[in-house]
Structures are given as C-alpha cells and as structure tokens.
Structure 1
Amino acid sequence: MVWLGVCSKGVTPLVILDKATIKHARYIQEGLPVALKYENQVFGDDWIFQQDGARPHTYDLTQQWCKGNFPAFIDKDHWSPDSPDLNHLDYSIWDEFVHVINWDKVKSKATLIQELKRAVKNIQEEVVFESCNSWTNRLYRLSTNDFGYLR
C-alpha cells in the first residue's frame, strides 16, 4: 500500500505502508502527519483536508484526529462516500503516476519501492494543477447529477 496526497501546488511525499494491512491506527500515525506537515509548509493554516471513504479514513478516531489537527476538514458526514469523481488521485493522478513508472525496472518488492519513490517525483506539475483546477467544475457537475458518477 502507498499513501499520497495532492493539492494545487503538487504532491505530498510518498508514504510506503508495506508491512501490514492498513487500519486506522497506522493511517493516523504514518499518513496523516505527512499530510499535515506538507500542507502546513505549502499553505500555512489556510487549507481544507479531504479524503475518500476508505475505512481507515472514516473511522471515528481518524475523524477526531483530522478535526483536531487540520485547519479545516470535510468529515465523512459531509462527503459523498463514493466520490472518485471528486478525488484528484482517483480521476487523474494515479493514472499519471503509473505512466511514469519504469515497469521494466520492477523485479522485486525492493525495486518496486525504489521505482515508486522515483516516479512520484516525476509526476507532471501540469497534470496535478489541471486535476485540481477541474475540481470545482466536477463538484458542480456532480451536484446537478444527484452526485452520481460522471460519464
């Protein structure tokens, strides 16, 4: 498993979570502090944290941690649980990420991790910016579609 955050200014450092199933405690300990540090460095205290509906994200202790640590946070009760059309990673960044990986170099878990770390640095800034820029339009289109999937 890997964790990655995205915003209009770029992508967070990649977090490799390779030793066990990801549950809320590991997510709180290893993923969320990276998001907090990165976003505070980039935006100061003027930003909103959004995550998808994965179980570690919606767990009560995760929600409490986010409310207590982020300057603003869209909690699970105010976010569509099936929101790939509103998650930059789902509709744009993961695709870009897998295209910059040199799959010929991946021969083992160790080489996969090396390639993931290299590839995240090569995600095109324009792709990140455009995916974030389209967010408001996507939100509007979903609102007019009863928050069903976009086609």
Structure 2
Amino acid sequence: MVWLGVCAQGLTELVIIEHGTMNAERYINEVLHIALRSGNRMLGDDWTCQQDGAKPHIHKMVQKWCADYFPSFISKDRWPPNSPDLCPLDYSLWNELAGSMD
C-alpha cells in the first residue's frame, strides 16, 4: 500500500506500507503524522487536509485526530466519498505510474 499527498507546492513524503492491513490506528500512527509534518513543511500553518471515503479515513478516531491536529480539515460529512474531484490521482496519475512499472 502506498500513501502520497499532492498539492501545488509539491509532494509529501512517500509512505510505503508493506505488511498487514490498514486500520484507523495504523493510519494515524504511520500516515497522518507524516501528512501533518509534510503539509506544515510545504505550506506553513495555512492549509486544509481532505481525504476520500476509505474506511480508515472515515473512522471516528481518524476524523477526531484530523480535526484536532490539522490547521484545517474537511470532514467526511462535507465531501462526497466517491467524487472524481476529490481524488483526481485515482483517475490519472496512478494509471500512468502503474503503466510505467510494466
């Protein structure tokens, strides 16, 4: 599993999770701290975190952590979980990346 954040200022640190399954606790411990650090490094203290509808992302523990720590956060209740506007990478970049690995 791979996690990567993207914004106009660049890319976050890449997180590769090789073993096991992702749950809310693991997502907080292994991904969100890196997302926060990367966002603050690239954008200072004026930015917004937004996720898609993946199960670990919508868990109440994750939603609370994000609301508590990110400078601004769009909760699961304010964005449709399957919107192509939310995850344009799902519709373009990942296909290109997969194709280049063949």
Same fold (TM > 0.5)? yes
Residue aligned with 2:21, SS: coil
Count of residue pairs the alignment pairs up: 102
* Cα distance in 2 for residues equivalent to 1:100 and 1:12: 21
Map 1:116-131; keep pairs closer than 5 Å: none
How far does the alpha carbon of each residue in 1:79-122 deviate from its partner, in whole angstroms, 9 at most, with x for none? Answer: 10212332132123212322443x3xxxxxxxxxxxxxxxxxxx
Structure exhibiting the larger radius of gyration computed from Cα positions? 1
Q: Which moved more, 1:87-96 or 1:35-44?
A: 87-96
Specify which structure has the higher proportion of strand: 2
TM-score, normalization: structure 2? 0.90
| Contact in 1 for aligned 2:10/2:42 (Cα 8 Å) | no
1:40 correspondence with 2:17: no
Unaligned runs of 5+ in 1: 104-151
Specify which structure has the higher proportion of helix: 1
Distance 1:44 1:66, change over 3 A: same
Whose RCO is larger (CA < 8 A, sep 6+)?
1
TM-score, normalization: structure 1? 0.63
Identity of aligned residues (%): 52
* Cα distance in 2 for residues equivalent to 1:63 and 1:50: 11
Give runs of ≥4 in structure 1 deviating > 2 Å: 95-101
